[in-house]
């Protein structure tokens, strides 16, 4: 099985576990004299099985990520790089938006009102955000390609 397939199975298992949690909570109590919509005990057993399989899958994915070498580091390193690039991009974009006055009233009605001026170089921040977005796309493409090339470890 390829790593990408395991990632899809992990997402499905996580969704399934969340659905079961919701169904268990809905059936955990019922009115006296009435039957619950579903047997919460049976659902708990099913959730336990799904979560057990999810744990095994996550362990295998993590082992594979740590053992797979890409561009001088591991796939885990690339994932960390992608996560931090996303955070950097969000910070720089937010700073540029705030300095540009996005979402704020940008004009004065009276000459007596205070004029708002940017405290940060908006154009430079936009260039940084564009560069970070490019780096993010490149790292993400590398990760996605690797996910489809690498076999999942046991």
Kindly provide the b/e burial profile for residues 17-38, where b requires at least 16 CB atoms within 10 angstroms of the residue's own CB: beebeebbeebeeeeeeeeeee
pLDDT at site 111: 66
100-134 pLDDT, tens digit each: 988 766 555 666 677 788 899 999 999 999 999 99
53-97 pLDDT, tens digit each: 999 999 999 999 999 999 999 999 999 999 999 999 999 999 999
* 35 Cβ neighbours under 8 A, 6+ residues apart: none
48-64 pLDDT, tens digit each: 999 999 999 999 999 99
Burial class of residue 140 (count of CB atoms within 10 Å of its CB; 0-12, 13-18, 19+): middle
pTM, two decimals, is 0.83
pLDDT at site 113: 72
pLDDT at site 124: 97
- Residue ranges of alpha helices (H) inside 1-151 are 3-27, 40-67, 75-100, 122-149
Dist CA 17 CA 22 (whole Å): 9
pLDDT at site 141: 97
* 149 Cβ neighbours under 8 A, 6+ residues apart: 2
Dist CA 78 CA 39 (whole Å): 44
5-41 pLDDT, tens digit each: 999 999 999 999 999 999 999 999 988 999 888 999 9
Give strand pairing partners of 73.
70
């Amino acid at each position: 099985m390829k790593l990408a397939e395991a990632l899809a199975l992990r997402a499905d298992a996580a969704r399934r576990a969340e659905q079961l949690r919701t169904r268990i909570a809905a059936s955990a109590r019922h009115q006296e004299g009435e039957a619950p919509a579903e047997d919460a005990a049976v659902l708990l057993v099913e959730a336990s099985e799904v979560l057990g399989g999810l744990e095994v899958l996550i362990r295998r994915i993590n082992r594979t990520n740590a053992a797979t070498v890409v561009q001088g580091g591991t796939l885990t390193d690339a994932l960390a790089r992608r996560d931090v690039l996303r955070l950097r991009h969000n910070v720089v974009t937010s700073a540029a938006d705030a300095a540009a006055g996005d979402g704020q009233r940008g004009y004065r009605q009276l000459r007596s009102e205070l004029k708002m001026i940017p405290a940060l170089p908006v154009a430079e921040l936009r260039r940084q955000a564009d560069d970070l977005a490019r780096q993010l796309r490149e790292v993400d493409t590398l990760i996605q390609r690797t996910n489809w090339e690498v076999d999942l470890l046991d």
